[in-house]
Structures are given as structure tokens and as C-alpha cells.
A and B are shown apart, each in its own frame.
Chain A
Amino acid sequence: GENVEQHPSTLSVQEGDSAVIKCTYSDSASNYFPWYKQELGKRPQLIIDIRSNVGEKKDQRIAVTLNKTAKHFSLHITETQPEDSAVYFCAASAPPILGGYNKLIFGAGTRLAVHP
């Protein structure tokens, strides 16, 4: 089955710096890669995702890149702000054999701290 590894487990940056979180996956059939942000006591919030037919996607200060050959994808946050502090989870999903659902395999998470 799919396995997703995420690094680093913790990341501390100064406000205004960039942050990069990396994930690798094992199942070459995986074709959907979302990133979730979870603040303390809150729900996981989908912040950006990418499908395997594109290599990069941007949304304001965040971007995700995908290297299908190497089976890794990364989250890039530029001009970090204190409100970016949270736990970030990457995930991967392969098409289900049957049915319209989407089974996500999560990485272990990265705790990002942005210091003013």
C-alpha cells in the first residue's frame, strides 16, 4: 500500500523567511496530492493541492511542486507570517478500484513555527 514520508517534523523560521516542507510517496499510481493546515484545536484545512498532470501550482504565498519521477512533492510558503504557524500535513491518493471516494494517506506532519 501507499506510504507517505514527510520532513522535517518541526520547522522554525523568522517572519518573512520562506519555509519548505517535503514529502515522498511510494505508490506510483497516486495522482492527487493535497496539503492541509491544522491550527491547534481546529479542523484540518485544505490549503492547496496538485494533481499528477501538472508540476507546479501557486496560490498567493503558497506553492506546491510535484516530481512524479522521483515521487516527491513539496510545499513552499514565502514571506511567512506568524499566522502561518500550524501543523501541516501532506497526503497522497491513488484512484480507488471501485467507487467515487478518495482514500488519503497522510504524512506524519510538520509543526511550523513562525517567529516575529
Chain B
Amino acid sequence: DTEVTQTPKHLVMGMTNKKSLKCEQHMGHRAMYWYKQKAKKPPELMFVYSYEKLSINESVPSRFSPECPNSSLLNLHLHALQPEDSALYLCASSADREVGGYEQYFGPGTRLTVT
């Protein structure tokens, strides 16, 4: 099973709202990622968790707050977003690279619209 799931599929939120995106994988992967993808652009890395610890924050504004409650779950908490934050938010996971895991599998994404 190489499936990563994400909820919700679509989200519309106002600039004063607080919402959360959720990601789940049951492949035993120990690295999980958040990407942002704008139309006609490649995925842009936001955060990386490795063994439930934040390993990379690509200078993402604090209105995006990641959380990794356990090895299977990854959340992205959203607060006071701007219209330019509207995008497809993708979650991905990969096995431990140090033991040979390289492949990164993406979830279906959450289409976020900020009004």
C-alpha cells in the first residue's frame, strides 16, 4: 500500500479563520513532508518531519504551523492566511533514507482558497 491520504479535499477560508489540514500514511514511513504547489509550478517544500521531529522549515511564515502528533499523522494549522496563500497543499512521506528509502509518495492534496 503506497497511499497517503489528505483531508479535506477542498477548503475555502477567510483571512481571519483558523483551519487545519490533515495527512495520514500507514506505510511505516518515518519522514513526512508538506509542500505548496501553485498552478503550473513544481511543488515547493515547506516543512519536513523526520521521526516526528521538525527537520526542515523552509522559512515558512508563522501563519502556517505544522504538527506531527505521531509517526502516521501530519497536520498543518492555518491562521490569518492571505489570498496569495491559495494553492494546492500536498503531503508526502518516505521511508528512512539511511536504510535505503528514497521514494517519496504524495497525497492527493488539499485545494485551499483564501478569500
CB within 8 Å of B: which residues of A?
32, 34, 36, 42-46, 49, 51, 87, 89, 93, 95-96, 98-104, 106-109
- Top 4 A-B pairs ranked by shortest CB distance? A100-B96, A106-B42, A101-B31, A99-B50
Query: Is A93 within 8 A of B48, CB to CB?
Result: no
Q: Find A102's partner among B94, B107, B108 (CB 8 Å cutoff).
A: B94
Cβ A32 vs Cβ B102 within 8 A: yes
Minimum C-beta distance from A44 to chain B (A) = 5
Chain B residues packing against A (C-beta within 8 Å): 30-31, 33, 40-43, 45, 48-51, 55-56, 90, 94-99, 101-109
Q: How far is the CA of A44 from the CA of B105 in the complex (A)?
A: 8
B42 to A89, Cβ gap below 8 A? yes
**Other-chain residue from B40, B51, B90, B102 in contact with A44 (beta carbon distance below 8 A):** B90
- Can you report 17 residue pairs joining A to B where beta carbons are below 8 Å apart? A34-B103, A43-B106, A44-B43, A45-B106, A49-B103, A89-B42, A99-B51, A99-B55, A100-B95, A100-B96, A100-B99, A100-B101, A101-B50, A102-B31, A102-B104, A104-B104, A108-B41
Please measure, in the bound complex, the distance between the C-alpha atom of A49 and the C-alpha atom of B102, giving whole angstroms. Answer: 9
For B105, give the chain A residue with the smallest CB separation.
A46
Contact present for A109 and B97 (CB under 8 Å): no
A12 and B88 CA atoms in complex are apart in Å by 26
CA distance A43 to B106 in the complex (A): 6
In the assembled complex, which residues on chain B have CB atoms less than 8 Å from the CB atom of A44?
43, 90, 106
Please indicate the chain A residues that have their CB under 8 angstroms from the CB of B40 in the complex.
Answer: 87, 109
